[in-house]
Amino acid sequence: MSKENKPVTAKPKFNRGTTLTIFKNDRYEDIIALTLSFLIALGVYFFVD
């Protein structure tokens, strides 16, 4: 984590993830975003007409 990525509050509050994400790293967050968007796409494809 970059030194300048200061948390929202002064002292660190989270022992999991980083100050910018609840996930352990960026790539993990990307995979979650990918999964979420494909679930939305499937939902739209099957349920919207």
* Binding stretches for other proteins (CB under 8 A): 2, 4-6, 8-9, 13-23, 26-27, 29-34, 36-38, 40-41, 44-45, 48-49
Task: Give me the least distance between CB of 39 and other proteins, in Å please.
Answer: 10
The least CB distance from residue 3 to other proteins, in Å, is 11
Output the smallest distance, CB 15 to other proteins, in A. 5
CB 19 within 8 A of CB 5: yes
Letter string b/e over residues 14-48, b meaning 16 or more CB atoms within 10 A of that residue's CB: eeeebeeeebeeeeebeeeeeeeeeeeeeeeeeee
